[in-house]
Structure formats: structure tokens, C-alpha cells
Structure 1
Amino acid sequence: MIDFIIKSTLSLAVLLAVYHLLLEKEKMHQFNRFYLLFSLVFSFGIPFTTIEVIRESASPFMGKTSIKPGEATMAIIEDSVSYWIISLWAIYAIVTSALVIRFVRNIRKLTSRIKSNPVIDYKNSKLVLLKEKTLPHTFLDAIFINETDYHNRKIEAELYTHELIHVTQKHTLDILFIEILKLLFWFSPIFIFYKKAIQLNHEFLADEKVVKSYNNVPFYQNLLLSVANANSSYYLASNLNYSITKKRLIMMTKTTSASRSMLKKLVLMPLFSGIVFLLCVKTVAQEKRTETAIQSTAVMTGMEKYFENTTFKIKDENGNNTADKKFSQLTTEEKKNIPPPPPPATASANNKQLNDMAVGPKYVELTVNNSNEDQVYKAADLEINPTFPGGMEAFYSFVAENFKISEEATKTKLKGKVYLTFMIEKDGSLSEFRILRDMGYGTGEEAVRVLKLSPNWIPGTIENKAVRVQYSLPITIQTD
């Protein structure tokens, strides 16, 4: 959540600053409207966009790291309660609820005024005649005006045209959009400045249409100045006298050449590209698989080599297929049921026969009595718990020596726990690794990798007989 707020706010601030520096003073108001709305959508999409650039590194792990394996347990893992986070969310919910109530009340107040006052159809909009003295203002397709001024024809045609532009161009939707964002992100003042920029641009659009329609700039400027001191109490409506400033008066007589407009639009392309590059591109260090390559080229001998490409279909006593495994995944009991490979070929055999006999069959069916052999036990059922050779302190040291933190994780200063479960087989080997929860940055996968390097444990026993045990392990990770 913090990452989302930081990235989106940075993008919003940069785009708004560019708008005020390059675009606001230019007479290309339709483009500016699109720019402001797109800036909001673009900035909220930035945190969800990640472009990975892979950088191959022979040493992807670096930095000092404190690894503290927690006490091994088979109990359910419970998270500690962060009361300060709960308090922050509670404050956020209270303030947001209050703002939502205010927002809904203003919507209802405007709609009720439409229903409770006379309405007249007017050029794809409707005029709402109010008893109280008010300046013309717009909400959706309704233009609110004073009833007495309407009947006495005291409202100038320029004012009707001005408000009609707000209706036909649906400016209210822009205001509602930014208001909803202010409800959700009330703690960020950036949306206040965006609303001001959007509303002022709406007035530029309406003023431009009036000037083109009546071609009497001095009269229209004087008309606006005559109502400059009046205020409207509806922050969701488009107000005639919104920001009657020098900016609006100057904009009415300003011109912008097509070449200047195009040049400023082209400048925005590298701007958006730069934001994406700075906030979305993530360099990922990829390990050179030197160790894997060495292992893959190592010569395997015996049954492991013969059954390298064989899939073993494990069946129960009823002939039902219970699992498909490779040779390295088989338990000791399952390996006892493997048929022996054929004797080595004689020198007189041709090359095809030699090749066929050097490779095991594609599939081998193994029938294993699983009535008690594969039963998984809990700690409470054991007479002797499984343990690492040399004790658990030796196991903690083993994990700390072999666990490696990625370069990216080192920079973020990780602190937390990785939770895993695995099976301790009857021969002490570890299998069936499962990551319950990790901290990202490959910490869970790294924990599994380290456990796979572990030597065989001393298995748990019942009645002096080794049994399979499901084991849980939290590992505490803290980078320096």
C-alpha cells in the first residue's frame, strides 16, 4: 500500500507540475482536459506495472544477512497483531465514512432541488428555476437559475451559453471523478490541486465557446466581473464565477499556434516514458547456472543413470495409481520394489542395442503396500522426535551458512519469517517441501533450496521403528 501511494503521488505531482509549466497557459483546452484525466488514470496504473530487465550475474547473492531459524514445530502458525496498523485503518475508515456521507448528502441535495422546483426543457438540458437568489450553476444536465431573473429576462444569453457548455461536454462527470478520488485519498492534498486545475480548464472551455459565439470579449469580461463576488455553496456544481482571475480574462484574447501546440504535445511523450522507466523498470539479477551446469554434466552411474528418464507410476494394493515420480523422488521403500536393470551389453552387440540397453523404460509400475508404510505421524504420536545430526543448533548453523539473500532483497532491508513444511522420511531424507508463507524476493524458494542440501536427519520413531513425520519450520530473516 505504501509503495502504491508513493509511486502514484510522485507521478501525479510530476504530471501536474508539467501541466502548470507547459500546458495551462496554452489555448488547447480540450487536450488539457484529456491530459489531466489521463494523468490520474496513468498514475494509478503505475504501481501495478512492472517491467523486468534481467541482468545476468555470476554472484546474484550478496550482503550480510542474519538467519535465525525458529523453533521447529507442528503447531498452527499465528501472526502477531499489529495494533498500530489496525488503529490507522480505523482512523481512515472513520474519516472516509464521514466524507462519503457528506458527498452523498450533497448529491441528494442537488437532485432534490431538481425534483422540488419547476423545470423547463432547454436545448438538450433543463433549466431548474429556484426561488432563492443564485447565480447560474450546473450539475449533470441541469442548469440552476433564479426564477425571477428568468421570467424578467435578466439573464444574458452569454450566461446560458456558458452553462450549456458545461452540460453538453459533461463537465460534471470530471468533477465527480476527482471528488471520488478525494474521498478515497483524502490524506493526499495533490487531488485538491487537480480539482482546481480541472475546474479552471472547464471554465476556459466554456469561455472559449462564448467568445466564439458572440465575438464580444469586452462585454463578456465585464459580465463576469460583475458577478465575481457572488459565491456558490455547491462544490459538486460547475459555477459561473469559478476563479474569475486574470488567467481567465487573459485566456479569452490569447492565441496558440498549431506548431507551438504540437511541439508541447510531443514533449509529453518522453515525459510519460521517463516516468515509466523510473518507477516501473526493475533490474533482476539472474544467476548464472554454473553449478547446475556442472551437476548436469556430471556422470551418473548405476540405477540412477539407467532410470534417469523413467517415470515411476506408484500403485496401491488395489491397482490404483497414487503418484507419478522420478527416481530421485522415490522413498527408500519404493526403491526396494524397482526391478533391477539388465546386465551390461556384450561387446558383440551393435550400437543400437547398446543405446537401448543404456536407457531405462519410459514408464515403470511399482506396487507398494501403503497400509502402514506411508502413514504420516504427528509429534504427539512419536516416541522419539526426528532431529538433525548434531542437534538442532547444528541445523540452525547449517541453514545460516547456506541461506543466501538476493541483491535486491538486501537493499530493501528485509525482516520477517518464512514458513515451510516438509516430510522427514523413514530413512531421514527430506521431501514434499511446501512454502506456507514467504517474504518475497525468492526467500521461500531459497529456503527450500537449502533444505534440499540438508544431510539425512535421524528419523522419528514409534516402537523403535522409523516413521514418516510432517515437520513445520519458521525461519527468521533479517538483512543488515
Structure 2
Amino acid sequence: MIDFFIKSTIALCVLLGVYYLLLEKEKFHQFNRFFLVFSILFSFVLPFITIEIVQEVVSTANSTVVVPGAITANVVKDEVSIYLICAWFLYGIVTTLLFCRFAINLLKLIKKSKSGVKIKHQNATLVLLQEQTLPYTFLNTIFINELEYQNNKIETELFTHELIHVNQKHSLDIILIEVIKNVFWFNPIFIFYKKAIQLNHEFLADEKVVKSHKNVSFYQNLLLSKANQNPVYYLASNLNYSVTKKRLIMMTTTTSPSRGLFKKTILLPLFTGLVYFLCTKTVAQEIKTNNETASQKRSYSNYYDKTTFKIKNDKGVVVAEKKYKDLTLAEKKVVPNVLEGLKFPPTKEEMAAKIEKGGPETVEIDVYDPKNQKVKKEEGTIYKTVDLTENPTYPGGMESFYKFIGENYKIPVTPADVKLKGRVYINFIVEKDGSLTDFKLLRDIGYGTGEEAIRVLKLSQNWIPGKVNGEPVATMYSLPITIQSKE
């Protein structure tokens, strides 16, 4: 709910600000009417739109931390805050009072429309009232003073003005914004939207009067002469609504087609930008590495169990012999792929047969061979692990890192009926000095699981940084953490 209020309010404020800056002073009032109403509806729909931007992360067996939870961590008493109850109670009272006020005014207008003498006039119904009043409109009814009507003291410009409100159904806009105001009374932005909508209605009616009667100065003086009377009902369209300098100036304003088209066109990137900034969400998607899958990685030690690796130095001379488990990270990275010689993707039977057969008796490892070297990029580049000759690692090995995570991660407290199970995906950068920075939560399972993972990662000691040809570089690292509550 809070997310809805924040996103919708941001969109409402941005769109209303753009209206005031770009559109209000321009003479395309029908477009402005659509823009104002659409902006409100768009802002209500926007929080429910989610556009997922998939960020691929490598899924490997040795990059997943499994954090078991304890049952005691999941058992909490589900209580509703007394402050929340009071807030909802207050909201209910205020909303009820506002809707009562709305209903009373609506009933008064309906009753008044039935009380006076009715006369059909073009597409509207004139209701003649005994009371002294300026003409005002609600739905298809125009309320006017009976004596002034019978004595022909109501100027034709006034009839034209009110008929525009009827024909263009301006009352529907007012009813809509008034209902929204009653529901979201705590958000003052709708007060400004109603004022903007009503003023635009007057622009529309004024424009029609000026085009029909072609006497701007007379109409302006007419409005000013009526400017001392106030509207009776806030649900009705009234001739005297906001007889301001804006209305008088708008009657003589012109908007060039090119400027109008330009201003309308730049609204498209505005709506697109709001959707992008408020609706996009980065999520993680597991992928397999280009040169080996997680299952293949686990099989390396079995496949090369009887293989002796001859390690060459920078001069191409064999200086050591090792088993696979004793190879450094840089040396393991240039070990020949288990899949060599097999069609991709291999079947399980083919993989099993090759692993059972085992690797060659000896394999030469030359990390200094140009084909095993990586191209150094410009300073400041954040590398991916596929671009490294040595991957970053935790001092003491990744198993020590998993142990560190498991010992420090605290399962967040959840309702008693919630069992946390799933994966948390986090991206971070292992800097050249081994420090961890720029933590980004790609996906979590709620209840603060992602925030807790970031908290623990910030406690980690510096890593051994990734390297390109022996030189430390900053590396983007992806870490899935599996949360598994005990049953």
C-alpha cells in the first residue's frame, strides 16, 4: 500500500508540474482536458505495472550458500499495531463524512432540478429558480433565475457558456475528481488537480463563446461584472469560477501548430520515463557458464583424478608437477575442458562414460601462453569473471566464505505460518584491493532476507581480488544465497 501511495504521488506531482509548465498556457484545451484526467488514471495504474529487467548470474555449485533456519526464528505472535487500527479508524470517519457531504450536495442539486419550472433549450434543460443566482450547470441541467429569464436579462453569451459545459459533459470530470478527493483526502495533490480541471473547463467554454459571438471585450467585461458572486455548489460548473487574469488572457492567446505539436510530442518520453523509473525491477536469472556447467565443474576432480599436471613457468620450462586439487585458481582456469571431443550438449551417458574413462596421464599447464592471457581493458573497467585469468576468492577458499555466511546470517523473523525457502541474489564488486562494494539486491524472498545478506557481506574481510595476467582488477561478482528453513 505504501508503495502504491509513493509511486502514484510521484507520478501525479510530475504530470501536474508538466501541465503547469508546458500545457496550461497553450490553447489546446481539449487535449489538456484529456491529459489531466488521463494523468490521474495513469498514476493509479502505474504502481501495479512491473517490468522485469533480467540480469543473468552464473549458477555454479561452489557459488551458492545454503543458510538453514531455525524454527524458533519463524515463530512470532501476529499482532496488529494499535496505531494502525487508530489510523484506519480515523481514515474511515473522515472518508465517511466527506462522502456524506458529497451525497448531500448531490441530493440538493437533484432536488433543486425537480423543484423549478423546466424548459427544454437545445440539448439542455433549463430549471427556473426563484432565488437570485448566476447561471450554473450540473450534468445536462442549467439553473437560472426565473425573473431574469422571463425579462430576457440573461445574455446569450451566458447561455452559450453553460451549454458548452452541458454538451462536453464537464460535470463527469468534476464528479470523478471529487470522488477521488474523498477517497484520498489525505493527499492534497488532488485539490490542485480539481482546480486545474475546472479552470480548463472554463477555458473551453470561454473559447466557444469568443468563437460564436466574436466580441472578446464585451464578454470580458461581462465576466468582470459578474465576478462578485460566488458559486453555490462545488459540484456544479459556474460561470464565475476563477474569473482570473488567466481566463482573460487566454481569450486572446494563440498557439502555433508547430509549438503545440512539439509540446505534445515531448510528453511521450515523459510517460515512458515514469514507467521506466517507477516500474522497472532488476531480477536475477541463472545461466550456465559458456565453457562449463556446474555439474561439469564438480566432475573435474573425478575426471582428472589420475592426471599429473606439469606446470610451466614464464619461460616455458616445467617447474612443478601437481594433482588437480593442488592447482591454483589461475591454473585451474586453463585446464582443458571435460567436454572436449564430445558433441554439445552431451548426453548423460556420454558424460558418464568419459568421466569413468578418466583424463590423460599428463597435461601441461602454461598460464603464460598467449592464448591463455586476457586482454587488459582501460583503467576503471569493471570486469566479469569470464574476462579474468584468476577469479576473485575469499581468503582460505570459498568453503571458508560459506562458513562465514552461515555463522553470521540471521534468519529474519516471520509470521508463524511462513517458512522461508528460496534464493537471494546479490551482485557486488570485488575491488582491486579486495574490498567489497556496490551491493545490489537482484532478488529476494521477502521479510528482509536480502537486506540481511547485504549486512553480512559488509562484515566480510577483504577478498583476494580477481586478476588479469597477474594484475589485480575490479570484478563484478554474483552470489546466490539459498535460504532453507528447518521443518
Q: Residues 121, 67 of structure 1: CA spacing in aligned structure 2 closer, same or farther, 3 A cutoff?
A: farther
Q: Residues 267, 447 of structure 1: CA spacing in aligned structure 2 closer, same or farther, 3 A cutoff?
A: closer
Q: Residues 404, 415 of structure 1: CA spacing in aligned structure 2 closer, same or farther, 3 A cutoff?
A: closer
1:417 aligned counterpart, secondary structure: coil
| Gap runs ≥5 in structure 1 | 300-353, 359-396, 406-413, 423-436, 453-470, 473-480
CA distance in 2, matches of 1:140, 1:399: 70
Q: Residues 450, 254 of structure 1: CA spacing in aligned structure 2 closer, same or farther, 3 A cutoff?
A: closer
1:167 alignment counterpart: 166
Q: How does 1:116-135 map to 2 (within 5 A)?
A: 116-135=115-134
Q: Deviations over 1:382-427 (max 9, x none)?
A: xxxxxxxxxxxxxxx999718979xxxxxxxx964162299xxxxx
Q: Deviations over 1:51-94 (max 9, x none)?
A: 1111223599x9xxx99734289x9x751222111111111111
What's the TM-score once normalised by structure 1's chain length?
Answer: 0.62
The alignment's C-alpha RMSD in Å is 3.6
CA distance in 1, matches of 2:279, 2:404: 34
For the 8 Å contact 1:27–1:255, the answer to whether it is kept is: yes
Q: How does 1:14-33 map to 2 (within 5 A)?
A: 14-33=14-33
AA in 1 matched with 2:201: H
CA distance in 1, matches of 2:4, 2:215: 49
1:280 alignment counterpart: 279
For the 8 Å contact 2:412–2:449, the answer to whether it is kept is: no
For the 8 Å contact 2:420–2:484, the answer to whether it is kept is: no
Q: Deviations over 1:413-446 (max 9, x none)?
A: x964162299xxxxxxxxxxxxxx9638789xx9
1:254 aligned counterpart, secondary structure: coil
Q: Residues 237, 72 of structure 1: CA spacing in aligned structure 2 closer, same or farther, 3 A cutoff?
A: closer
AA in 2 matched with 1:87: C
Q: How does 1:23-102 map to 2 (within 5 A)?
A: 23-58=23-58, 69-71=70-72, 78-102=77-101
Q: Residues 57, 404 of structure 1: CA spacing in aligned structure 2 closer, same or farther, 3 A cutoff?
A: farther
Q: CA deviation at 1:447?
A: 12
Q: Residues 296, 136 of structure 1: CA spacing in aligned structure 2 closer, same or farther, 3 A cutoff?
A: farther
Q: Residues 51, 86 of structure 1: CA spacing in aligned structure 2 closer, same or farther, 3 A cutoff?
A: same
Q: Residues 67, 117 of structure 1: CA spacing in aligned structure 2 closer, same or farther, 3 A cutoff?
A: farther
1:295 aligns with 2:292: no
2:234 aligned counterpart, secondary structure: coil
1:3 alignment counterpart: 3
1:235 aligns with 2:234: yes
Q: CA deviation at 1:297?
A: 7.2
Would you say how many aligned residue pairs link Structure 1 and Structure 2?
A: 332
1:145 aligned counterpart, secondary structure: strand
1:126 aligned counterpart, secondary structure: strand
2:427 alignment counterpart: none
| Gap runs ≥5 in structure 2 | 300-348, 354-401, 422-444, 452-478
For the 8 Å contact 2:59–2:288, the answer to whether it is kept is: no
1:129 aligned counterpart, secondary structure: strand
1:439 alignment counterpart: 447
What's the TM-score once normalised by structure 2's chain length?
Answer: 0.62
Q: How does 1:272-421 map to 2 (within 5 A)?
A: 272-289=271-288, 293-295=293-295, 401=406, 416-417=413-414, 419-420=418-419
1:198 aligned counterpart, secondary structure: helix
AA in 1 matched with 2:232: S
For the 8 Å contact 1:417–1:438, the answer to whether it is kept is: no
